[in-house]
């Protein structure tokens, strides 16, 4: 009996109805003042509550696809390999240099963002022989990122790779990737659960990723609202915050290039939708975006409020598939990744998206055979996302 199947849900509902009926039927029999009667009432209450929680849990899981199977829930079964489909257009080779006209001038490194002491990488031990030496493992700094244009701000983390601290790189400027959680999310989870810095370090050491700075954030600078990375009329200008304010603030505090093609963005769930949308809307800023279990249309619910203020045009433009079908192709690279089975409409969305994309846009698809809308699935897809973006970032 499958975890997400209708059979299990209906069976659980039937059990819950039986338990609730038994609770109503037997309750008068346990009305006496006796320890056996007290235990009977406790048992009836516990059984009825457990049955209701089981029904609610299955309904929520079926809707959000947190776990796609019993193996996914229990962590059993064999992990399938990550499959990466070739990009729809040739990508620039790793190490391609930006044109001289786009090269930034070397400036002194200011320090106008608050920083906290370096923290451990999310995966221990990263390298038992080097400890916390930033020249070997890099450094994680906690920051609050202000938005000069929008007035928005949010907390996050910056991971500086080992090369940032190594001799000979004092004037070097690095490419950067903004990494986002789902909503509401906690930026710290990108370290403690995803291990973004540790995975990136492994990829850099293996030569599959160029030295890159990571900016780890949640997808909303206007909590508790979820603006879906939109510039909401009369509301938070979240799109401008991520596309303009964040690169400007971070590049002012760290040696990060501001040249075209030096930034990219990735994320999971809401963060994945934001990543693809920001890269498509701002190809002059983002060389690429990776959506991990993201979606193609902006969510509209109690957390978002009215994002479009009645404008169908704005709603359409927030639909990534609609953009491909009706607007000029952006010169950026987008990878969609997820589970072939159990991850909502990933396969359907990926097929429609890649079919609609044309040059100069580049697309890629990474997938695992089975998985839910959860950390277990997303972590498996991180290396493919890093490799895809690194091939398009211009150092």
Q: What is the pLDDT of residue 371?
A: 76
Q: What is the pLDDT of residue 194?
A: 87
Q: What is the pLDDT of residue 83?
A: 57
Report pLDDT digits (tens) over 92-145. Answer: 333 333 333 333 322 333 333 444 444 433 333 333 233 467 888 899 998 989
Which of left, alpha, beta for 90 (phi over 0: left; psi -120 to 50: alpha)? beta
Report pLDDT digits (tens) over 158-167. Answer: 999 999 999 9
Higher pLDDT, 379 or 124: 379
For the ranges 39-48, 113-122, 146-155, 169-178, the lowest mean pLDDT is seen at 113-122
Residues 6+ apart with CB under 8 A from 245: 145, 146, 147, 148, 149, 150, 152
- 281 has a pLDDT exceeding 90: yes
pLDDT bracket for residue 82 (50, 70, 90): low
Q: What is the pLDDT of residue 110?
A: 34
Report pLDDT digits (tens) over 332-370. Answer: 999 999 988 877 788 899 999 999 999 999 999 999 988
Q: What is the pLDDT of residue 90?
A: 39
Average pLDDT over residues 296-302: 90
Q: What is the pLDDT of residue 318?
A: 96
- 257 has a pLDDT exceeding 90: yes
Average pLDDT over residues 233-240: 95
């Amino acid at each position: 009996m499958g975890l997400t199947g209708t059979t299990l849900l209906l069976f659980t509902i039937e059990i819950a109805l039986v338990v609730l009926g038994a609770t109503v039927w037997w309750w008068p029999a346990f009305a006496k003042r006796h320890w056996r009667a007290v235990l009977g009432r406790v048992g009836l209450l516990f059984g009825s509550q457990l049955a209701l929680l089981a029904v609610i849990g299955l309904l929520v899981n079926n809707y959000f696809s947190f776990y796609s199977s019993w193996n996914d829930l229990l962590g059993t079964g064999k992990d399938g390999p990550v499959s990466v489909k070739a990009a729809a257009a040739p990508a620039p080779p790793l190490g391609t240099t930006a044109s001289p006209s786009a090269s930034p001038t070397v400036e002194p490194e200011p320090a106008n963002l608050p920083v906290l002491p370096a923290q451990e990488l999310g995966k221990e031990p990263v390298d038992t022989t080097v400890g916390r030496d930033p020249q070997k493992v890099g450094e994680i700094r906690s920051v609050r990122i202000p938005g000069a244009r929008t007035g928005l701000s949010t907390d996050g983390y910056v991971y500086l790779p080992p090369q940032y601290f190594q001799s000979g790189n004092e004037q070097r400027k690095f490419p950067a990737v903004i990494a986002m959680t789902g909503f509401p999310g906690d930026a710290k989870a990108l370290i403690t659960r995803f291990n973004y810095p540790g995975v990136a370090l492994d990829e850099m050491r293996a030569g599959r990723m160029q030295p890159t700075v990571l900016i780890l954030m949640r997808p909303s600078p206007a909590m508790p609202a979820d603006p879906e990375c939109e510039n909401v009329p009369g509301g938070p200008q979240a799109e401008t915050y991520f596309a303009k304010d964040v690169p400007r603030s971070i590049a002012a505090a760290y040696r990060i290039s501001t040249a075209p093609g030096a930034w990219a963005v990735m994320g999971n769930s809401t963060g994945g939708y934001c990543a693809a949308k920001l890269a498509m809307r701002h190809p002059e800023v983002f060389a690429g975006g990776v959506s991990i279990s993201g979606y193609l249309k902006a969510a509209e619910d109690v957390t978002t409020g009215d994002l479009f203020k009645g404008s169908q045009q704005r709603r359409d433009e927030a639909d990534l598939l609609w953009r491909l079908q009706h607007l000029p192709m952006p010169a950026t690279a987008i990878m969609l990744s997820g589970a072939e089975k159990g991850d909502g409409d990933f396969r359907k969305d990926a097929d429609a998206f890649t079919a609609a994309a044309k040059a100069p846009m580049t697309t890629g698809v990474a997938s695992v055979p089975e998985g839910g809308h959860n950390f277990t699935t997303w972590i498996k897809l991180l290396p493919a996302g890093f490799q895809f973006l690194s091939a398009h970032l211009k150092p």
